[in-house]
Amino acid sequence: MKELFAFIEKHSFILLFFVLQIISFILIVNFNEPQKSQYGAVSTAFQGKLHSVTHKITQYFYLEFANRRLVEENAKLYENQEFSQYDNAVNSSVVEDTEYEQQYEYIPAKVLNNSINKIQNFIVINKGWKQGIQKNMAVICPTGIVGVVVRTSQHYSLIMTVLNTNFKVSTRFKNSGFYGSLSWSGQNYKLATLEEIPLHAVIKNGDTLVTNSYSNLFPSGIMVGTVESFYQNDNFFSADVLLSTDFKRLDYVYVVKDLFKKERQNLEGAE
């Protein structure tokens, strides 16, 4: 206290000056319109700046709290996520039309287990017979074909993928219509082999291959892959096909339900 008085006494002149200047300043901004508005503009900007700076500083001290809260919130969100819950619903959409009759329904499913490095590769999806999945249904994904259902349980299904030496599917060239049989040699997960292409077929590298309807398995026109290279094999052409489906990154697939399957099977079986 003593030092304070000593300080005031020592610097009384300068302190008096500042007091008088502050009084003047207050008078100016209170009784002069142009200065008042000028001061208002500046002080508003200053207050805004000050507020943003203090907010930044105080925010930092709340980070830990915010972090903890976010972690809790995250855990809750994980619990609500699809992968935490079993989906009983069958989200197939049916188009009602008199001219076109719905032939295929698509049941979305998530891939739970996947393998690509065996000779016989299978994937497991989270939909089973409870959702209407049956043996021999086709499975596709947005980029191409995936495989065929070989076994179902109540909630899960086992799918034999294209990457299985037992898998065979009839495909055709999208532009020329020639068809061949696609199988997998068991080596490269990106490449499959297309065999039994007639010698008079005009093929070139990069030709697109799609499914055809001969097999009674896939809907017609689903993307399979593109021709990587081809060579003559006895009386046929054979081609290496670059599969359009990336089996390493399978996530969601659609199980194709053919509503006319039984009808066609009965007809073909009766023949």
| Contact in structure between 253 and 125 (CB atoms under 8 Å) | yes
Binding of residue 13 to other proteins (CB under 8 A): yes
- CA dist., res. 189 & res. 248, Å (int): 8
3-state DSSP call for residue 139? strand
Among 3, 4, 9, 31, binds other proteins (CB under 8 A): 31
Q: Which is nearer to other proteins, 11 or 249 (by Cβ)?
A: 11
- CA dist., res. 95 & res. 171, Å (int): 27
- Kindly tell me the sign of the dihedral angle through the C-alpha atoms of 129, 132, 134, 138: negative
Query: Which range, of 30-38, 93-101, 111-119, 226-234, touches other proteins by CB under 8 A?
Result: 30-38
Q: What is the DSSP letter of 236?
A: E
- CA dist., res. 220 & res. 213, Å (int): 5
Binding of residue 23 to other proteins (CB under 8 A): yes
Query: Which range, of 6-14, 180-188, 198-206, 211-219, touches other proteins by CB under 8 A?
Result: 6-14
Range list of β-strands (E), 101-260: 104-114, 120-125, 138-141, 144-152, 157-164, 168-173, 179-183, 191-198, 208-211, 223-233, 236-243, 252-258
**H/E element holding 18?**
helix 12-31
Q: Which x/- pattern, by CB under 8 A, does the window 34-73 give for other proteins?
A: xx--xx--x-------------------------------
- CA dist., res. 53 & res. 65, Å (int): 20
For helices 33-61 and 12-31, the axis angle rounded to 10 degrees is 110
Q: Which is nearer to other proteins, 24 or 233 (by Cβ)?
A: 24
Rounded least distance, CB 7 to other proteins, Å: 16
Among 32, 113, 165, 176, binds other proteins (CB under 8 A): 32
Binding of residue 259 to other proteins (CB under 8 A): no
Binding of residue 26 to other proteins (CB under 8 A): yes
Residue found by looking up tokens 């495909």 in the block: 171
Binding of residue 94 to other proteins (CB under 8 A): no
Q: Which is nearer to other proteins, 38 or 54 (by Cβ)?
A: 38
Q: Which is nearer to other proteins, 30 or 153 (by Cβ)?
A: 30
Rounded least distance, CB 66 to other proteins, Å: 41
Among 7, 25, 46, 86, binds other proteins (CB under 8 A): 25
Q: What is the DSSP letter of 81?
A: S
Q: How many residues touch other proteins (CB under 8 A)?
A: 22
Rounded least distance, CB 62 to other proteins, Å: 38
- The token pair at 191 is 């490449």
Q: Which residues bind other proteins (CB under 8 A)?
A: 12-14, 16-17, 20-21, 23-32, 34-35, 38-39, 42
